[in-house]
Amino acid sequence: MSVQSLFNEPLLNKYNINGPRYTSYPTALEFGPLTQKLPLKDAFVQSQQQALSLYIHIPFCHQLCYYCGCNKVVTRHQDKADRYLDYLEKEIRQLPVCAKAPPVKQIHLGGGSPSFLTLAQHTRLIALLTTHFSVEKGAQKSIEIDPRGVTTEYLSGLSKLGFNRVSIGVQDTTEKVQEAINRVQDTSHIATLVKHAKQLGMTSVNLDLIYGLPHQTLSSFTETLSHVLTMRPQRVSLFSYAHLPARFAAQRKIDNAWLPQAQSKTALMKLAMETLNGAGYELIGMDHFALPDDELAKAQRSGTLHRNFQGYTTMGDLDLLGLGVSSISAVGPAYLQNPKTLNDYYSKLDEGKPSQHHGCFLSSDDQIRRYIIQQLMCNLALSVNDVENRFAINFANYFKEELTELQAFVDDGLLTVTPHAIFATSSARLLIRVIAMTFDAYLASKKNLHRYSRVI
Ligand code: SF4
């Protein structure tokens, strides 16, 4: 696939509207209070999955990055993490399913900044998980790290605890950009960490980059990309900076005037895609890159890629149990979210109530649309026969209106629609979210669109 074919300027301009990222369908904006007494238990009873993925949210960070839109608590008090681990333990002990939960194939620590925890605190956390869940030998254990303050000894300690995948937040290596986002970090130190992670035998090292940051130019981002390519990580994630200062207070420290405007932002994305592609990385979905021998690249080639709250994954056939403040579980036909603030999370657990109090149980219509959106987002194609067999519907009748709406994309050369399948063309790849939106029943009135960021 040539990156050039993805950039049809008139079409990108026409369809660059606000839209969901579809890490879930329905999206989190549709979540509401749950009425079930034990929602998680009900969700597990209705699930047909035989294995589990655990997501643990560690909300603490040592310092505030001004671009940040995550759920986090900035603090220097390490003991706050001890208290948090006490409550994670409480949450796990109160789970109605723990003893009978399916085997765990995947553990992911996200944040905030999971590398806020000391090695002793990580040891406690891993012991907690292995005591209460049946974690498979050889399970994938991944962690997001903030390179500032992480040493090679710390990485070695994580490796001893079984972590075999690491994702490092690079964002941009230019000093002026780093100062504007309040995240100054040493590139040579990151390179040392990447090298060390590889020496430790970690099977995957991912580097995160962000385009659209203040003061970024084509020349500065070329330098950042060159630094990244020298490190040769297995994967690169390329995110678009969404400037939403009305929603995220930290972003008010970033002056609008410092930001690259829409055209320059697209040029930065194109530069990154061409550079990474030219260096042998395959584009996964819309925003990830992987070397050809990486399992994400293989899954994409075989049409078995999946998408969840952490992005693209090869393990879509797992229920996802989210632990910790604000985490979301995706179990069977339900999404269940923990309270979003530490105080609410702690209070719920002190009351002895299930922490998952918010979310939704999918209707059968939601489940059909979730499957379709997932297929389009991951595989850029949909088998009509597959949907009809899975959900016992007549596709043409059920989606009569949607098929009419899709015609606009067909006319623009973005889609091929036959009675048996829907295929996105290569120039539709960056616009696949807009095409998927056709099947989103909650966007019918378009009243929610302003809550989402631009698709590019
Ligand atoms: S970007 Fe990451 S490290 Fe920075 S404040 Fe946000 S969660 Fe913390």
pLDDT on residue 119? 98
291 contacts 284 by C-beta, under 8 angstroms: no
For the stretch 103-147, pLDDT in tens is 999 999 999 999 999 999 999 999 999 999 999 999 999 999 999
Instruction: State phi, psi for 170 to the nearest 5 degrees.
Output: -95, -50
SS3 percent helix, strand, coil of the chain, rounded to 5, is: 45, 20, 35
State the distance from the centre of ligand 1 to the C-alpha of 59, rounded, in angstroms: 9
Tell me the CA–centroid distance for residue 183 and ligand 1, in Å.
9
Residue 147, pLDDT score: 97
Given a cut of 80, whether residue 453 has pLDDT beyond it is no
pLDDT in tens, 309-342: 777 888 777 999 999 999 999 999 999 999 999 9
What's the pLDDT score for residue 450?
61
Average pLDDT, the chain: 92
Q: What pLDDT, on the 0 to 100 scale, is given for residue 448?
A: 56
- Domain positions in the chain: 1-26+363-456, 30-320
Q: Atom 2 in ligand 1: which residue has the minimum CA distance?
A: 112
Distance between Cα 387 and ligand 1 center (Å): 40
> How far is the centre of ligand 1, averaged over its atoms, from the C-alpha of 116 (Å)?
11
- If you search the block for the tokens 């409550």, which residue do you land on? 87
Quote the pTM value: 0.93
Q: How many CB atoms lie within 10 A of CB 202?
A: 21
Of the candidates 387, 390, 451, 398, the residue with the CA atom closest to the CA atom of residue 422: 387
Domain 1-26+363-456: give its CATH code.
1.10.10.920
Nearest-atom number in ligand 1 for the CA of 111 is 7
Q: Measuring from each residue's beta carbon to the nearest atom of ligand 1, which residues come in under 6 Å?
A: 61, 64-65, 68, 70, 72, 111-113, 146
Ligand 1 geometric centre to CA of 320 (Å): 23
Residue range 18-26: average pLDDT? 90
197 or 102: whose pLDDT is higher?
197
**pLDDT tens-digit profile of 370-383?**
999 999 999 899 99
Residues in the chain: 456
Ligand 1 atom having least distance to the Cα of 61: 8
pLDDT (mean) for 239-253: 93
| 205 phi and psi angles, rounded to 5 deg | -120, 120
136/286 Cα distance (integer angstroms): 31
CA dihedral 436, 441, 446, 450 (to 10 degrees): -70
pLDDT at position 99 over 70: no
Q: Which of 58, 66, 70 to mutate to test the pocket of ligand 1 (most atoms within 8 A of CB)?
A: 70
Kindly give the number of the ligand 1 atom that is closest to the alpha carbon of 144. 2
Residue whose CA is at the smallest distance from ligand 1 atom 4: 65
Torsion of CA 45, 49, 53, 55, to 10 degrees: -40
**Cα–Cα distance between 273 and 265 in angstroms, integer?**
12
| Contact assessment for residue 13 and residue 327, using Cβ atoms and an 8 Å cutoff | no
Helix (H) or strand (E) holding 129: helix 119-132
More confident residue, 61 or 317: 61
Q: What is 30-320's CATH superfamily?
A: tm_1862 like domain (3.80.30.20)
Tell me how far apart the alpha carbons of residues 134 and 52 are, in angstroms, rounded to a whole number: 10
Ligand 1 atom showing the smallest separation from residue 250 Cα: 5
Please check the confidence at residue 343 and state whether its pLDDT lies above 70.
yes
Q: Are 352 and 46 in contact (CB under 8 A)?
A: no
Mean pLDDT of 419-436: 92
Ligand 1 centroid to Cα of residue 68, in Å, is 6
3 state SS of 168 = strand
